[in-house]
Structure 1
Amino acid sequence: MNLPDLVRPGLDVLFCGINPGLLSAATGHHFARPGNRFWPALHLSGFTPRRLSPAEQEELLEFGLGITNLSDRPTAKADELTAEELRAGGVRLTSLAAEHAPRVVAVVGITAYRTAFGRPRAVVGPQPEPIASSRLWVLPNPSGLNAHYRLDDLAEVFRRLRSEVAEAV
């Protein structure tokens, strides 16, 4: 099953994951693996008034949020994707941003972003270049496999993004 994009014109933030995990592909829900910290970080940062479950992903649109992925190929681990797949995803994401014009595109995964956009020295946070007409941010990968960020640290980076979006309103 392909994981459908959750997108519409004029979003505040379009989050872009790397690719669906096997459980997400099976259920049709983004960030569906129980150990994934996307949904808790979204809530703890103030993007949502309560912690949503992956099955409630459609409610994100009510909050001006959407989700897509660089690649639609499901894998057990994101590092199974090729550099070519990631670069093709960067082209697709740029087209999606041009079509829907979210205020911010937030790529969730620094290593995938570096490969997809040819930015080997990029760091987490706001990026100097836009993507289409949208502001570009890179967030840490919320996968439970990413030991570099605890949930509180992840939520803090999401909170920084949320603050920037709120200031721009």
Structure 2
Amino acid sequence: MRFTQAELQQFRDRTVPDLLPDPLRLLFVGINPSLWSAATGAHFGRPGNRFYPALHRAGITSHVIDASAGYPEEGLAELTARGVGISNLVPRATARADELTREDLDDARDRLDDVVRRHAPRAVAVLGITAYRRAFAAPKARLGEQVSPWEATRLFVAPNPSGLNAHASVDSLGEDYRAAAVAAGIDVAAGIDVGDGGVGEGAP
């Protein structure tokens, strides 16, 4: 599936429904949906985004989910069965994250608090350190585990998986995601194909 820029612009400010399986073990939180994700209804769906390759590299999924045309039935079923959810700090779609306003990110913490309160994941991983610092009023925060504001939920911050983020690779993202998954009680070894050779090997 391909979209022209004109077609994608029609999805500006649209939302993508949160993926919230029950039980929810691990919640990944993006900054906000891309226009491509809004068009397909699948989080991190834009071709070139490294979210799903990193999930597989971490051992969270048994294969690389291709969400570029929407969630495939098998991939969605695996995320649901493993208790992996996806949300965003800001629900409205933009072409770039830097198009978000100060008000968007000021409201993000309340939105995330509500999701965590209602679904009680064991771990939350926010994907984007700059957006995290703004939303959580933590200007000196670093990547990794944070002091969680939620009593029964551990909080992590990992890099944005966008292909534009040159500071992270599929391997490094996989390591970050694996740490959050282990904290959430997900058996990451169960997500690795026998032929993979283990996390960190094979094609993304």
- What TM-score, normalized to structure 1? 0.92
**Shift, 1:167, TM fit:** 8.1
Match of 2:88 in 1: 69
Alpha-carbon distance in structure 1 between the residues aligned to 2:44 and 2:106: 21
Alpha-carbon distance in structure 1 between the residues aligned to 2:116 and 2:137: 18
Given that 1:9 and 1:102 are in contact with CA atoms closer than 8 Å, whether structure 2 keeps it comes out as no
**Shift, 1:31, TM fit:** 0.2
- Closer/same/farther in 2, CA of residues 41 and 160 from structure 1, 3 Å limit: same
Amino acid of the residue matched to residue 95 of structure 1? D
Match of 1:100 in 2: 119
Alpha-carbon distance in structure 1 between the residues aligned to 2:152 and 2:103: 24
Are residue 31 (structure 1) and residue 15 (structure 2) matched? no
Match of 1:164 in 2: 183
**Shift, 1:131, TM fit:** 3.3
Match of 2:66 in 1: 53
Given that 1:105 and 1:131 are in contact with CA atoms closer than 8 Å, whether structure 2 keeps it comes out as no
Match of 1:78 in 2: 97
**Shift, 1:113, TM fit:** 0.6
**Shift, 1:32, TM fit:** 0.7
**Shift, 1:159, TM fit:** 1.9
What SS does the aligned partner of 1:107 have?
strand
**Shift, 1:160, TM fit:** 2.1
Of residues 162, 168, 188, the one that matches 1:149 is 168
What SS does the aligned partner of 2:152 have?
coil
Gaps of 5+ in 2: 1-13, 188-204
Given that 1:45 and 1:158 are in contact with CA atoms closer than 8 Å, whether structure 2 keeps it comes out as yes
Alpha-carbon distance in structure 2 between the residues aligned to 1:166 and 1:134: 12
**Range moving further from structure 2, 63-72 or 5-14:** 5-14
What SS does the aligned partner of 2:107 have?
helix
What SS does the aligned partner of 2:109 have?
helix
Alpha-carbon distance in structure 2 between the residues aligned to 1:125 and 1:117: 15
Amino acid of the residue matched to residue 31 of structure 1? F
Per-residue CA deviation, residues 10-39 of structure 1 (Å, 9 max, x unaligned), is 311011111010100111110011110000
Are residue 126 (structure 1) and residue 141 (structure 2) matched? no
Match of 2:3 in 1: none
Instruction: Give the greater-gyration-radius structure (CA).
Output: 2
Given that 1:41 and 1:154 are in contact with CA atoms closer than 8 Å, whether structure 2 keeps it comes out as yes
- What TM-score, normalized to structure 2? 0.77
What SS does the aligned partner of 1:30 have?
coil
Gaps of 5+ in 1: none
Per-residue CA deviation, residues 35-75 of structure 1 (Å, 9 max, x unaligned), is 10000000100111111122236321111100011111111
Match of 1:114 in 2: 133
Amino acid of the residue matched to residue 2 of structure 1? T
CA RMSD of aligned residues (A): 1.8
What SS does the aligned partner of 1:166 have?
coil
Given that 1:98 and 1:133 are in contact with CA atoms closer than 8 Å, whether structure 2 keeps it comes out as no
